Structure 1
Amino acid sequence: MAQVIQTPQQQQYLCKLLGYNYTIVYKAGKDNQAADALSRIDASTLVPSSFHLAVSNPIFNISSDIQWENTTNPELIALHEQLRQGIAAPEFTTLNGLLFHKNRLFPSSDSPLRNIVLHECHSTPQAGHPGILRTIKKLSGSFYWLKMWMMFINLFATA
């Protein structure tokens, strides 16, 4: 084998394939019609109604709860006021009455919504228990709060 194994995933597949005698042969696009079939579909024959969309990021249906929290929680009200006065940290912004930290929703430190979104990103059948790193990565794309890692570990890793 002349290729260098660089990733843990390559290492895993190498262990599985070592017991087999095989040769990997490159086929050019026109010769490899099975793998190349989808890239050769004539786009002019496709009807827009035949398209199907798949969403790979979670869509949270808690916007009304987040809006309510931004208008009733003293911690968030104080941050909104600091933004109006121009004395808040530059990472904070507001949009449509919601508080954001570097373009990610910022729930309060005692918000029950944090447990809800952690559960949605980790424990639902759609999430599939992806593990600590994937859950935190998915969650931190939309939300921010201090010690997100510790909260995740306290809720799931010790259970």
Structure 2
Amino acid sequence: MLEQGIICPGTSPFSAPVLLVKKADSGVPPGRLNSAVDALSRCDADTADAPRELHALSRPSFCLLNDIRDATAADPEATRLLQQLLDASLGAPWTTNDGFLLHGKRIFVPAQHDLRHQVIALAHAADHEGIQKTLMRLREVFYIPGDRGLVQDFVRACVTCQSNKTPTL
């Protein structure tokens, strides 16, 4: 499907391909005749006889991951860790794979440019659910030393979170 152009690269490493399939005959009454409609059963009256298609709604992106890979090769801290790993003075849970420095199964994000800020923003902007859930989402994929303090600062500076925050007595 990627080769056919149905699924193309997007902007978020947290997103997955989301596909919407409309079946030719779902057995569901169209439009107003359906009292329990959902997103997949809706069908416009003028396209009721048209063939159904597969539509890509969102797409995965690997630009950020490529930026992290490039920064890992250029960052002094990452190159020091890679050298220690090659010298066998840095053991588990550190490994390397495909240009990434891994801490366990998580990708190390070097302090190059604003990559750490981008990764935290990506993990937080999904739902603006606060410090703990942002940390949980971030730690599923990425490793950033001192991430708790960075996430706390980011969430406290988030305009959306602060405007939706309920006042305490």
TM-score, normalised on structure 2? 0.54
CA distance in structure 2 between the partners assigned to 1:91 and 1:109 by the alignment: 20
The count of aligned residue pairs is 107
Partner of 1:8: none
After TM superposition, which residue ranges in structure 1, 4 or more long, deviate above 4 angstroms?
Answer: 52-55
Contact 2:75 2:110 in 1 (8 A): yes
Amino acid at match of 1:90: A
Greater helix share, structure number = 1
TM-score, normalised on structure 1? 0.57
Contact 1:70 1:77 in 2 (8 A): yes
* Unpaired stretches in structure 1, ≥5 consecutive residues: 1-33, 35-48
Q: Whose relative contact order is higher, 1 or 2, with alpha carbons under 8 Å and at least 6 apart?
A: 2
Counterpart of 1:102 (choices 98, 101, 104) is 104
CA distance in structure 1 between the partners assigned to 2:98 and 2:120 by the alignment: 24
Greater strand share, structure number = 2
Amino acid at match of 2:74: T
Tell me: CA distance 1:54–1:158, structure 2 relative to 1, closer, same or farther (3 Å).
Answer: closer
* Unpaired stretches in structure 2, ≥5 consecutive residues: 1-35, 37-52, 159-169
Q: Deviations over 1:17-69 (max 9, x none)?
A: xxxxxxxxxxxxxxxxx9xxxxxxxxxxxxxx97x9999xx966401101111
Identity of aligned residues (%): 28
Deviation at 1:90, TM superposition (A): 1.6
Amino acid at match of 1:119: A
Larger Rg belongs to: 1
CA distance in structure 1 between the partners assigned to 2:148 and 2:76 by the alignment: 24
Counterpart of 1:86 (choices 49, 70, 88) is 88
